Structure 1
Amino acid sequence: MSSHKLKTDETNNVKEDISAVSETGSHRKLPLSRRILSVVWDSLDKLPKERKFINKVDCWIMSYVCMAYFVKYLDQTNVNNAYISGMKEDLNMSGQDYNYLQTMFTVGYCLGNLPSQLIMTKIRPSIWLPSVELIWGCLVMAMAAAKNVKTLYALRFLIGILEASAYPGIITLLGNWYTPQELGKRSAIFVCSAMISQMFSGYLQAGLYAGMDGKHGFSAWQWLFIFDGIIGFPICIYGYFAVPDSPNNTKAKWLKLEEKEMAIDRMNKVGRKPPRGLKWRTFYEVFTMWPVYVFSVSFTAHVLGIRIYNYFNIYLKASGYSVEDANLIPTAAFGFQAIMTLLYAWWSDATQQRILVIYFGVLLSLAGCIILSVYPEHNKAAMMAGWFLTYAETGVSGLIMTMCNELLSFSTEHRLIVIGVVETTAFVFNAWVILLTYPSGEAPKFSIGYEMAAMFFAIEMCAMGVAWYCMKRWKPSQE
């Protein structure tokens, strides 16, 4: 609690507004009409002061995190679209070059992930997150000037180190400000911005290929990276003002003192503790608790499973579709992905049954992988259905990380480390597994890729079953 705690009637009113919801954040004691409103949108059932506060926090935090993640995923998707839009031919890429490009990014991502989380215990997220985004934006633009694939390898490695800050850093930031009834939606909406980005990248590349190819001496794929950097710069600047750190140490100019007090009280109500400082004992405690292991397995399986849809446009081009179609058709799949992600968000926040919702998403993508494993190549409708279903599970990533935030509410430092370790573990495996499962030279039919994706989704289901058992038997806590 802040040392400057208000002792006015205004503050007492704030506390009463928060206390309208029970200690655990449950809405079971509220009238039916307010429970229905809370499902539609979680601030509608709140009293005016808290509703105004939530809307204000949404306006600043969610606008930044969605735009920042949009730019991050625009970069990642642009590499896929650039590859099939002339980059492969211009840089004489062949064999496993595309996969090596992905691997160099992933190696950098793994190396940057946990250090970025630890740095945020010393440097404010409001400074760190926008700064690294500014640097990686410059490096993305530099990719347009690459003359060979080795230069791309080096740039992708550095960009991976810097982009590693985005996902775990933003997930941790959201956990600092939102209650369990709010966090699932915000995490899913944040993840959804990546899907919209992937849709936009396809349209952007198709448009550039048709109208900008060869303009001012640049190919369409080079213009793609230039546009990516240009879009990112104003968002970085906005981030310095928008990111509020945590309720207990925020210096955000857009928050009034009584609103800071409300933020602290809201987090206290759900057991979300303020930063205490990173100690060596924190690492010991993290690695003697089950969440770091169970969620590392489930999230790793998730990341390896969804990697399959990165090869949809390569499949399309290898199957004879035009460059424009290979860029545009996957945008419909990303639209489906976004709809499913929002469904998961509202469903899980309304019922608080996160694992059940995760199971539903995994089963859909598992079905898609089974269809692709059978490979009914003469039945285009079945093949398209299989590919589209592989996109269905992606949105549950936000729910997995939401569970990490909620289970480790007792310590900001534990949450930072566990989220960092879970992300790092997933991408360490991702760095080399894709080389074995999706040799790009095998497109459109990957000999083991479809079956391996199905296996990863099955492992994810098993791991979430273990998480359910552990949650029933052992609740993590700080002694």
Structure 2
Amino acid sequence: MSIWCPSWELLWVVATFASSSVKTPHQLYVCRFFVGLAEGTFYPAVHTVLGAWYTKREIAKRACIFFGSAFVGSMFSGYLQAALYTGMNGVGGLSGWRWLFIFDGIITFPMAIWGYIALPDLPTNTRVFWLKPHEKEMAQERIKKAGKAVGEPVTWAGIKRVLGKWHFWVYTAYYTFFICSENIGLYMNLWLKSLHRYSVSNINTYPTVTNAITIVTSLAYGWTSDYIKLRSPIVFFSLTVCFFAAVNLAVWDGVPFGLKWASYYLTGFAQGSGPVFLTMVNEVCAGDSLERIIILGSTNSIAYAFNAWIPLLSYNTTYAPRFLVGNSITVALIVCAATTLALAVYLERRDKEKNDLVEQDVTTDPIVASQSREWIEGKGGEEGLAGEARV
């Protein structure tokens, strides 16, 4: 990870600098392709690292701190856009938007270099100098006690095993619904622009409050989730708040001005639950390292593959600022996300009950326990079913 992630970040820097010099739309398309290619690997890779190093009482805090830091960057980007628009537009013969790309590249370059030093890889292969040998040994002991499996290579047999479990399909479906429902809060600037009462600077800065709300709520989610050692109630809460906001924005006519404003800001409650959900994935799949890394990658790649085109249809800017179709679809997506999450919680509890039954049988009938494990893992066939019947 200490080589993989920073190297992609350097490619991101190059593509961002190149974006400041484009002359045609097609040149920008090419630059944006490489920006997306470079940044797509980072988020699931960091969650893979977090899941390998931290235990159940620690991981949600770290995941939410990491997630919140991205929104600090988004807030800063909004302020930077406003500053560049008013202060550097035309300086050196460059438009303000070109200066924005240049500044982004300058800011990111030292962070990419820092990544080669700071990222610790995994406990089983860490090479960083700032961890002492006994600390590396302690890290490996911690993950063993936490029941975390690491180091399984990617094989066709392993992929087939992962695809044969419900985790891949249900978790990926939930995250796809979740990510596609987040678009509702991104168009506040178009609403403000339609009112014809705010300056360009205000239109750029007022929506950043949503990012501030996301930062605060994500940190609150992380600490609360680790304290109560539960994940799904936090996610359900965030979906409920966003559902309320989405319904207000879908109804639109008759909704008071202040409630519309508040509803846009309330959408910031949803996004912070994303890292809590990925923490849940990290924990449920802790015993299967290949399943864990595949699902962390699939949830992001598949969700954003759908999110790349759904907003183009549901949030066509010609329908701004109301977006009746888009906001109504978002309400449906939130309902689908909540339903899918409820299914995941049910299946997790069902599996836990089966595993507890197996552990109980170990002390009474080792043969039954063995057959029950085979049945649970999908490897026992008729023999496993016979064992389950005996139990």
What's the TM-score once normalised by structure 1's chain length?
0.72
Residue pairs, 1:48-447, within 5 angstroms: 125-320=1-196, 321-376=198-253, 379-447=256-324
Residue pairs, 1:459-470, within 5 angstroms: 459-470=336-347
Tell whether the 8 Å contact from 2:190 to 2:321 is kept in structure 1 after alignment. yes
How much has 1:442 moved relative to structure 2?
Answer: 2.0
- C-alpha distance after superposition, 1:241-290 (max 9, x if no partner): 11111111111111110000110011011101220322211101110111
Amino acid at match of 1:331: T
Aligned residue pairs total 355
- C-alpha distance after superposition, 1:159-204 (max 9, x if no partner): 1111111110111111111001111111111110111111111111
Distance in 2 of aligned mates of 1:284 and 1:189: 34
Distance in 1 of aligned mates of 2:254 and 2:28: 34
SS in 2 for 1:185: helix
SS in 1 for 2:269: coil
Tell whether the 8 Å contact from 1:173 to 1:246 is kept in structure 2 after alignment. yes
Counterpart position of 2:388? none
How much has 1:421 moved relative to structure 2?
Answer: 1.3
Tell whether the 8 Å contact from 2:250 to 2:322 is kept in structure 1 after alignment. no
SS in 2 for 1:428: helix
Tell whether the 8 Å contact from 1:410 to 1:478 is kept in structure 2 after alignment. no
Tell whether the 8 Å contact from 1:275 to 1:411 is kept in structure 2 after alignment. no
SS in 2 for 1:474: helix
Tell whether the 8 Å contact from 1:305 to 1:456 is kept in structure 2 after alignment. yes
Counterpart position of 1:67? none
How much has 1:378 moved relative to structure 2?
Answer: 7.5
Tell whether the 8 Å contact from 2:248 to 2:255 is kept in structure 1 after alignment. no
Query: Aligned-pair RMSD on alpha carbons?
Result: 1.6
- C-alpha distance after superposition, 1:300-332 (max 9, x if no partner): 011001122222223322332321011110121
Q: 4+ residue runs of structure 1 moved beyond 4 angstroms? A: 475-479
Structure 1 stretch displaced more, 405-414 or 338-347: 405-414
How much has 1:219 moved relative to structure 2?
Answer: 1.2
**Structure 1: segments with no counterpart, 5+ residues:** 1-124
- C-alpha distance after superposition, 1:376-424 (max 9, x if no partner): 4783211101111112100111011111111111132221111111112
Tell whether the 8 Å contact from 2:52 to 2:148 is kept in structure 1 after alignment. yes
| Identity in percent | 37
Distance in 2 of aligned mates of 1:306 and 1:205: 22
**Structure 2: segments with no counterpart, 5+ residues:** 353-375, 380-391
Tell whether the 8 Å contact from 2:250 to 2:323 is kept in structure 1 after alignment. no
Distance in 2 of aligned mates of 1:398 and 1:279: 28
Tell whether the 8 Å contact from 1:336 to 1:392 is kept in structure 2 after alignment. yes
How much has 1:470 moved relative to structure 2?
Answer: 0.4
Tell whether the 8 Å contact from 1:129 to 1:165 is kept in structure 2 after alignment. yes
Distance in 1 of aligned mates of 2:377 and 2:221: 28
Distance in 2 of aligned mates of 1:403 and 1:155: 35
Distance in 1 of aligned mates of 2:14 and 2:155: 35
Tell whether the 8 Å contact from 1:184 to 1:345 is kept in structure 2 after alignment. yes
Distance in 1 of aligned mates of 2:172 and 2:206: 33
- C-alpha distance after superposition, 1:32-58 (max 9, x if no partner): xxxxxxxxxxxxxxxxxxxxxxxxxxx
Tell whether the 8 Å contact from 2:20 to 2:99 is kept in structure 1 after alignment. yes
Amino acid at match of 2:252: Y
Tell whether the 8 Å contact from 1:377 to 1:383 is kept in structure 2 after alignment. no
Q: Would the alpha carbon gap of residues 241 and 377 (structure 1) be closer, same or farther in structure 2, given more than 3 Å must change? A: farther
Tell whether the 8 Å contact from 1:376 to 1:383 is kept in structure 2 after alignment. no
Structure 1 stretch displaced more, 301-310 or 439-448: 439-448
What's the TM-score once normalised by structure 2's chain length?
0.88
Distance in 2 of aligned mates of 1:421 and 1:399: 17
- C-alpha distance after superposition, 1:328-373 (max 9, x if no partner): 1012121111111111111111112211110101111111111111
